[in-house]
Structure 1
Amino acid sequence: MSATKTKVQSIIDENPVAVFSKSYCPYCRSAKQLLSDSGAKFYAIELDQVDDGSAIQSTLADITGQSTVPNIFIGQKHIGGNSELQGKKKDLPNLLKTAGAV
């Protein structure tokens, strides 16, 4: 397993909510805002601000089939991007509770 894949997997495994994001992305901001408003404790990594960001994004595409950000995991399960997260607004409190993120 590559170092990048190991890093990505440990971020997913060690955090109840992991958001792979870019600091300038409005969809990422929207997703992080919803999580914040929901009281979620989440880990966000800004791929445009880390040296291996493009490698991480490429690894996420291999793992999830999704090459865009935000790329969101709750309870180690891939949720998708911002529109998928927004679509789960009603279920979000339960998802976060189950994941131990609130």
Structure 2
Amino acid sequence: MTAGAVRIFSTQWTFASGAHQLWAQVDTDNSVDECPHEDNNILGPVNIGVTGAAGDPAGTPIPPPTLDKPRSTPTPELPGRAEATPTPSPTVTPPAAKP
């Protein structure tokens, strides 16, 4: 991708009721020259609150996260390139415990 290009990734996820944080991270390997805007590659945390799903007021339980930080950016498959890293599944970081 070139600087200024747009590519949309999406996934479906069911959150448990409660507070959650979402993160987005791009270009972790600095393969896109964004000078002078290299500092805009991380968004987060974005705090969201979930109050339950239709027909399931308690929400749906989710497994605990397996990582303590965002995963590295996947390498998209490009023409002329034999291998690509698949897009990883997102994880959820539970809110920090209140003292």
TM-score (norm 2): 0.21
- Structure of larger gyration radius: 2
More helix by share: 1
The TM-score with structure 1 as length reference comes to 0.20
